[in-house]
Amino acid sequence: MFSHKLDKTGELLLTGDLTLQNIKDVKDALLNAINKASAVTLNLDGVTDVDFSFLQLLRAAQKSCEIREKTLTLENVPKRYQELAEESGFAH
């Protein structure tokens, strides 16, 4: 299960699983936030699981923000994300 909420300050709260089963919905929510705000904060406080597809999506979103001269910040990063990023080489 995945859900999201975008507030008017550009904070996107993601909850649930950020995995391949939900990645299209995650992508749509993230693109919507990037299109609406000059600075996007991804709040991962309610995230229960992540997989490699989310890491790839996040990397693409970071590149998109750089091209558009926008910022993308992560908050409340779960331990599973940190472990997966290190294991896959995305942490460097």
Question: Tens of pLDDT along 17-39?
Answer: 999 999 999 999 999 999 999 99
What are the φ and ψ backbone dihedral angles of 53, each rounded to 5 degrees?
-60, -35
Q: What single-letter amino acid sits at 87?
A: E
pLDDT of residue 67: 95
> pLDDT tier at 92 (50, 70, 90 boundaries)?
low
pLDDT tops 90 at residue 2? no
| DSSP three-state, residue 60 | helix
Structure tokens at 71: 């910022």
The domain of 70 spans 2-88
Strand partners, 18: 50
The larger pLDDT score, comparing residue 75 to residue 81, is at 75
The CATH number of the domain where 79 resides is what? 3.30.750.24
Phi first, then psi, for residue 89 (nearest 5°) are 90, 5
Span 44-62, pLDDT tens digits: 999 999 999 999 999 999 9
Mean per-residue pLDDT of the chain: 91
Domain count, the chain: 1
